[in-house]
Amino acid sequence: MSAAVPLPSPSAAVLARLRDIRHLALDMDGTIYKGGSLFPFTRPFLARMRELGIGCTFLTNNPSKSSADYLAHLAKLGIAATPAELYTSAQATIDWLRTHRPEARRLFVLGTASMQAQFRDAGFVLTGEAPTDEPDAVVVGFDLTLAYARACRAAWWIQRGKLYVATNPDWVCPTDQPTVLIDCGSICAMLEKATGRAPDQVFGKPDPSMLDGIRSRHGLEAVQIAMVGDRIYTDVLMAHRAGALGVLVLSGEATADDAAQAENPPHLTLPSLAELGDLLAAARAPAPFCT
């Protein structure tokens, strides 16, 4: 969290934008907690947002666990969240398919059992490995249960021109274990080598559809949303692409040096959520009455 360069003061334009913020899209690891430990400022910050009438949605690029799994994890950390306050890359994929490809009802899903259940619960029919069980589309996610036969079947349908979407672009999933967790982007790279095709659509941060889903859920304009996270190339870049306010917190991966050198710099760089809470409260404070 140490900054090698001084943090710039918020500009007048950014302070004006803060007055319009009605909802926060919050990255999780590095923003509200680190690994299995909740930051001490997180619960006070969330309570303050409730007092200010600012909604919050927790975002994750990891589709391997269900919404119930993530809500249970947050509850274990002391955060009571509802399903409406969580948005995953699997949910973004489901929303896009429903809106843009409603004819795609039969899916070959390369993902964990938990991820497959999310698509099944959303009303999709999941096809099997038989070459006669033809899908309308192939969905590839962060599959920790990846099996060779299923990867081959996914490649078969991709090669035959089926709609092909990926839940997230990540090459690896961060871990504190002595291993490399190969993520969705790497699985797609393997499939591209085998088939000559990249995904037709990739969801998850930095794809703006993650914020589009939140905007649609809550009837908001992009300027009323702030994307808050610790990564410039996912969180901040998505904010730029979606027209939202990009807030970088230095409680996770990125440093102040990274922010100063970024091609798409954050609109606002702060040490943590605590300082963001102060700014949002100040933006809503009534102007002093002058006589």
Rounded Cα gap, residues 66 and 61, in angstroms: 12
Assess contact for 35 and 29: CB atoms under 8 A: yes
The pTM (predicted TM-score) of the whole model is 0.84
pLDDT on residue 290: 56
Domains of the chain: 12-61+205-284 (3.40.50.1000), 104-202 (3.40.50.1000)
Helix, strand and coil in the chain, % to nearest 5? 40, 20, 40
Edge to edge, the sheet with strand 55-60 lists 86-88, 55-60, 23-27, 225-229, 245-249, 268-270
Q: What is the pLDDT along the chain (291 residues), one digit of tens a residue?
A: 444 566 778 888 898 999 999 999 999 988 999 877 899 999 999 999 999 999 999 999 999 988 889 999 999 999 999 999 999 999 999 999 999 999 999 999 999 999 999 999 999 999 999 999 999 999 999 999 999 999 999 999 999 999 999 999 999 887 767 889 999 999 999 999 999 999 999 999 999 988 988 888 899 999 999 999 998 999 999 999 999 999 999 998 889 999 999 999 999 999 999 999 999 999 987 765 555
40 burial type by CB count under 10 A (0-12 exposed, 13-18 middle, 19+ buried): exposed
pLDDT on residue 1: 44
Assess contact for 140 and 191: CB atoms under 8 A: yes
pLDDT on residue 10: 83
pLDDT on residue 2: 42
pLDDT on residue 49: 97
Rounded Cα gap, residues 155 and 188, in angstroms: 10
